Amino acid sequence: MGIVYGYARVSTTGQCLDRQLDALTQAGVDKDLIYCEKMSGTKSNRPKLKALLETVEEGDTVYIESLSRLGRSSADLITLMQTFHNEGVTLISLKEKLDLIDISNLKVLGFINNMNAYMKESDVVIAKPGGLTSTEVTMMRKPLVLMMPIPGVENHNASFFEENGMCLKASNVLEVVNNTKKLLEDKSLQQNLVEMQKKYINDKSAGDLVDYVIKNWYNK
């Protein structure tokens, strides 16, 4: 059986690590085996994280209080998760209740010009609830999970789509995982979302607008 480690991080020297340390020790991590850092999660050259990566061996387990403690950039976070996986180390996030050992099938893309092609081939689309993205996905009639809307327009968009049965909404990472899994396993739920998308999102709306302008303005 491997060794159980912990990693705790805050962004500045003025912030306190106590809450994370309490959570990690309650999960069974020896306080002496918790690597503590006071540095921004956007920085990749964190000394304590580097020391942890150099220490762990196959069969070990690393606990973190939440995914955000490991990194703020999605790309950096996934790279770190893959590094632990390649070393045979189990990574567990307490807040999200996720065992993150295997992400071998996950591929991170940078900026691409053919997002529509990826949407078209998707079984489920997970997206932020921007108006354009949400509408593009529903026009393609794809099961949709709208994730973690920020207050304002995104929140209104997510509520509109959810209240009209066109998506599932997720307010945190665990809900994203659970809702995505639910959709992948339930074909009838997928179909229900798509049917409501057809009801509320007109796939001929651009042509209808042109016809309206021609009929009511251009010919006058």
Q: Which residues are catalytic?
A: 11
What does the alpha-carbon distance between residue 31 and residue 22 come to, in Å, rounded to a whole number? 9
The half-sphere exposure of 123 on its side-chain side, counting CA atoms within 13 A, is 10
Q: DSSP label at 202? A: -
The answer to whether residues 193 and 143 touch, using CB atoms and an 8 Å cutoff, is yes
Phi and psi angles of residue 211, each rounded to the nearest 5 degrees, phi first: -60, -40
Three-point CA angle 146, 149, 155, nearest 5°: 100
What does the alpha-carbon distance between residue 87 and residue 53 come to, in Å, rounded to a whole number? 9
46 burial class (0-12, 13-18, 19+ CB within 10 angstroms)?
buried
- DSSP lists the bridge partners of residue 63 as 6, 92
Three-point CA angle 133, 135, 137, nearest 5°: 70
The answer to whether residues 80 and 62 touch, using CB atoms and an 8 Å cutoff, is no
